[in-house]
């Protein structure tokens, strides 16, 4: 079983988000970066579990600059056998997908896993793009994934419920809560991560069809209007007349 | 031509698709062209209604192989329809279906994609806006390709049903064999799914016991709202996991979000801070959620919530 897990590096949820004055670039100063939680907690851990029960290997792949290697080493500490970094500062999800697909196409992976979305750009685009580049089935928002021989049974989150489906290897799936439980790397994992292979690969050329024009911060909230707990008629009036929410 | 994929999960076209057609019609008006909707599969009894929302034509690929969802076959069929019809803009819904297709379709058509948009494009640059960093920032993207794809965030556009129904035109497109076998679908019946809900009533650990949820349900029923909960409540099994809103749960953007006994951890806010109006009810005046709220009630939820339910009943009776 050869599994590829695509990991992204994102600002920690609690980070303060700010941009350069022209709104073109994200200010990285003082920001704590982490592995995208859906990639780490669900996709990577489930890949390691499958490898532990079925044998094979888990490759973690990141498209990013050398500064991302701390995050990549964490993936190795959690349990990936080897890692690949495609050396680029990715300008878009389409770029990332192209790089992943270009790397994966000659490596015969049985399964490609990644998180349901990243917590920075929230696009949920990469998995679908990779699948199309590779002409593979794609299951998004998988909250449960079991393998029986060559066939996976997957629960996929849909609006107001789940869909249960079967798909044969190879395929691409994006992972949601429920697929696995977060693992904290232990000392042995951290030590062995230092010596596991981390290969750096040059990116392939790609022409973007989407240009980032400008980042802005949402308008600040006007501040909370407190309503007397004894007077819920007043809250209803405000919700109707002022907020027009009911 | 603007092509809108009007999804029909389990044979029914729903609000999200009506929103997408309303949006597609506005984009078509900007571009001086028409808006055409396409439905896939044999079950879409209410497809003609899409005309009311601005579709000048409704096309249907009535092949039973499309009744179950497979992103690969759907993408192949939609790409063919887009090419056949000469679509310049393709609009999808930013739903479980749309998210699984959008990226595929952009690769297949060589078209730029912006997913989860919440604004109309600027004429000229075709720049569209979306919320990023879990609601902490906004970004404008410009799509440069000849064919452009956007997926529309739920509740970003109010469906406008001022037009007239149209008849459905069957079109023939070859449907490749799917590789995904759908075995079953389990959904909550009788409630509006959280991503589509206009009003959400959500409760957290301040409820103290799972048996206390009656007052939350009463309020939700009175408002016609969907119930939700915070992560600790779902994790401790007080409420089902599908009710969990927040970063690891479901991200929502209803018109009205009422948070009861939820302190407002940043991971929770990340999933709800795009709600248009937020009401927070909490006995702790220092709860961080008040900073993100529009209206706040500092008080004992066991008294305040039933009082609010009564006030809404009174309001509904008078309106």
Residues of chain B with CATH 3.40.50.620: 2-170
Confidence of residue A220 (pLDDT cuts 50, 70, 90): confident
CA proximity to A26, closest of A220, A219, A216: A216
Q: Which residues neighbour B124 within 8 Å (Cβ) at sequence distance 6 or greater? A: none
Query: Average pLDDT of A70-82?
Result: 98
* Residue A231 lies inside a defined structural domain of this protein: no
Instruction: Look at A213 and B140 and tell me if their CB atoms are within 8 Å.
Output: yes
Q: What is the 3-state secondary structure (H, E, C) of chain A?
A: CEEEEECCEEECCCCCCCECCCCCCECCCCCCEEECHHHHHHHHHHHHHHHHHHCCEEEEEEEECHHHHHHHHHHHHHCCCEEEEEECCCCCHHHHHHHHHHHHCCCCCCEEEEECCCCCCCCCCHHHHHHHHHCCCEEEEEEEEEEECCEEEEEEEECCEEEEEEEECCEEEEECCCCCCCCCCCHHHHHHHCCCCEEEECCCCCCCCEEEEEEECCCCCCCCEECCCCCHHHHHHHHHHHCCCC
The pLDDT, as a whole number, for residue B243 is: 94
Q: Quickly name the fold that domain B2-170 has.
A: Rossmann fold (3.40.50)
The pLDDT, as a whole number, for residue B31 is: 96
With H, G, I as helix, E, B as strand and everything else as coil, classify residue B191.
Answer: coil
The pLDDT, as a whole number, for residue B190 is: 79
pLDDT for B54 beyond 90: yes
Mean pLDDT of chain A: 96
Q: Does B152 touch chain A if contact means CB atoms closer than 8 Å?
A: no
Give the minimum alpha-carbon distance from A59 to chain B in angstroms, rounded to a whole number: 23
User: Are A196 and A75 spatial neighbours (Cβ–Cβ below 8 Å)?
Assistant: no
Q: Does B256 touch chain A if contact means CB atoms closer than 8 Å?
A: yes
The pLDDT, as a whole number, for residue B123 is: 87
Torsion of CA A114, A116, A119, A121, to 10 degrees: 90
CATH of domain B194-318: 3.40.50.1220
- Percent of chain B with pLDDT strictly greater than 70: 100
Tell me the residue ranges of DSSP E strands in B53-147. Answer: 57-61, 89-93, 112-117, 127-132, 137-143
Lowest-confidence range among A56-65, B78-87, B107-116, B131-140?
A: B131-140
Residues of chain B with CATH 3.40.50.1220: 194-318
Q: Considering only residues 143 to 182 of chain A, which have any Cβ-Cβ distance to chain B shorter than 8 Å?
A: 153, 156-168, 171, 177-178
Q: In this predicted model, what pLDDT tens digit does every residue of A166-194 receive, in sequence order?
A: 999 999 999 999 999 999 999 999 999 99
Confidence of residue B312 (pLDDT cuts 50, 70, 90): very high
Confidence of residue B57 (pLDDT cuts 50, 70, 90): very high
Query: Average pLDDT of B269-273?
Result: 94
* Residue A240 lies inside a defined structural domain of this protein: no
Question: Which domain does A12 fall in, by range?
Answer: 2-218
Q: Considering only residues 208 to 227 of chain A, which have any Cβ-Cβ distance to chain B shorter than 8 Å?
A: 208-218, 221-222, 224-227
Structural domains counted in chain A:
1
Mean pLDDT of chain B: 96
pLDDT for B117 beyond 90: yes
Task: Mark out the alpha helices in B166-318 (DSSP H runs).
Answer: 214-223, 231-235, 266-272, 301-318
pLDDT for B139 beyond 90: yes
Q: In this predicted model, what pLDDT tens digit does every residue of B226-251 receive, in sequence order?
A: 999 999 999 999 999 889 999 989 99
Query: Average pLDDT of A148-162?
Result: 95
Q: In this predicted model, what pLDDT tens digit does every residue of B141-171 receive, in sequence order?
A: 999 999 999 999 999 999 999 999 999 999 9
Q: Does B45 touch chain A if contact means CB atoms closer than 8 Å?
A: no
* Residue A243 lies inside a defined structural domain of this protein: no
Q: Which of A128, A157, A158 sits opposite B104 (nearest CB)?
A: A128
C-alpha to C-alpha distance for A73 and A120, rounded to whole angstroms: 21
The pLDDT, as a whole number, for residue B10 is: 86
Query: Average pLDDT of A37-52?
Result: 98
Q: Does A12 touch chain B if contact means CB atoms closer than 8 Å?
A: no
* Residue A30 lies inside a defined structural domain of this protein: yes
User: Are A90 and A64 spatial neighbours (Cβ–Cβ below 8 Å)?
Assistant: yes
CB burial readout A1-15, b (16+ within 10 A) else e: bbbbbbbbbbbebeb
Q: Does B10 touch chain A if contact means CB atoms closer than 8 Å?
A: no
Q: Is the peptide bond before B30 cis (omega within 30 degrees of 0)?
A: no
Nearest CA in chain B to A18: B137
Q: How many CB pairs under 8 A join A and B?
A: 269
Confidence of residue B188 (pLDDT cuts 50, 70, 90): confident
The domain that contains A133 carries what CATH number?
3.40.50.620
pLDDT for A160 beyond 90: no
C-alpha to C-alpha distance for B127 and B1, rounded to whole angstroms: 18
Q: What is the 3-state secondary structure (H, E, C) of B52-78?
A: HHCCCEEEEECCHHHCCCCHHHHHHHH
Query: Average pLDDT of A46-75?
Result: 98
The pLDDT, as a whole number, for residue A64 is: 98
The pLDDT, as a whole number, for residue B134 is: 87
pLDDT for B254 beyond 90: yes
Confidence of residue A23 (pLDDT cuts 50, 70, 90): very high
Residue A222 with chain B: CB contacts under 8 Å: 294
pTM for this entry: 0.94
* Residue A232 lies inside a defined structural domain of this protein: no
Within 10 A of B85 (CB to CB), how many other CB atoms are there?
A: 15
């Amino acid at each position: 079983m050869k599994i590829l897990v695509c990991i992204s590096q994102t600002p920690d949820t609690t980070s303060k988000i700010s941009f350069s004055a022209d709104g073109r670039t994200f200010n990285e100063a003082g920001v704590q970066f982490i592995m995208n939680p859906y990639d780490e907690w669900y996709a990577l851990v489930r890949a390691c579990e499958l490898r532990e029960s079925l044998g094979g290997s888990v490759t973690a792949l990141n498209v990013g600059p050398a500064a991302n290697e701390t995050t990549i080493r964490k993936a190795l500490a959690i349990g990936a056998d080897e890692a690949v970094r495609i050396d680029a500062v990715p300008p878009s999800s389409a770029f990332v997908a192209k790089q992943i697909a270009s790397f994966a196409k000659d490596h015969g992976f049985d399964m490609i896993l990644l998180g349901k979305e990243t917590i920075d750009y929230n696009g949920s685009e990469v998995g679908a793009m990779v699948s199309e580049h590779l002409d593979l089935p794609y299951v998004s928002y998988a909250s449960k994934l079991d393998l029986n021989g060559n066939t996976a049974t997957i629960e996929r989150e849909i609006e107001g419920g789940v869909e249960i489906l079967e798909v044969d290897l190879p395929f691409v799936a994006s992972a949601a809560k429920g697929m696995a439980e977060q693992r904290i790397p232990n000392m042995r994992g951290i030590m062995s991560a230092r010596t596991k292979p981390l290969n750096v690969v040059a990116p392939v050329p790609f022409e973007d069809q989407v240009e980032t024009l400008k980042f802005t911060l949402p308008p600040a909230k006007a501040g909370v209007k407190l309503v007397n707990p004894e007077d819920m008629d007043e809250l209803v009036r405000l919700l109707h007349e002022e907020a027009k929410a009911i | 031509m603007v092509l809108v994929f009007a999804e029909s999960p389990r044979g029914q076209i729903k609000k999200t698709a009506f929103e997408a057609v309303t949006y597609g019609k506005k984009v078509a008006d900007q571009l001086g062209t028409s808006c055409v909707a396409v439905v896939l599969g044999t079950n879409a009894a209410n497809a003609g209604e899409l005309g009311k929302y601005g579709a000048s034509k409704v096309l249907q690929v009535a092949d039973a192989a499309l009744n179950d969802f497979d992103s690969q076959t759907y993408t192949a069929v939609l790409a063919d329809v887009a090419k056949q019809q000469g679509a310049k803009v393709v609009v999808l819904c930013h739903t479980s279906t749309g998210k699984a297709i959008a990226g595929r379709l952009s690769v297949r058509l060589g078209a730029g994609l912006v997913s989860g948009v919440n604004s109309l494009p600027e004429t000229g640059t075709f720049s569209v806006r979306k919320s990023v960093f879990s609601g902490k920032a906004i970004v404008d993207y410009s799509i440069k390709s000849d064919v452009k794809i956007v997926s529309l965030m739920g509740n970003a556009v109010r469906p406008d049903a001022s037009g007239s129904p149209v008849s459905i035109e069957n079109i023939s497109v070859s449907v490749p064999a799917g590789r995904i076998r759908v075995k079953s679908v389990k959904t909550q019946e009788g409630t509006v799914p959280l991503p589509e809900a206009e009003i959400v009533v959500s409760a957290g650990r301040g409820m103290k016991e799972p048996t206390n949820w009656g007052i939350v349900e009463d309020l939700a029923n009175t408002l016609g709202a969907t119930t939700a909960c915070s992560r600790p409540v779902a994790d401790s099994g007080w409420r089902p996991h599908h009710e969990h809103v927040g970063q690891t749960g479901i991200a929502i953007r209803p018109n009205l979000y009422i948070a009861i006994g939820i302190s407002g951890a940043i991971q929770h806010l990340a999933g709800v801070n795009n709600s248009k109006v937020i009401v927070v009810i909490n006995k702790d005046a220092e709860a961080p959620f008040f900073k993100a709220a529009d209206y706040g009630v500092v008080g004992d939820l066991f008294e305040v919530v039933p009082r609010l339910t009564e006030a809404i009943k009174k309001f509904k009776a008078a309106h």
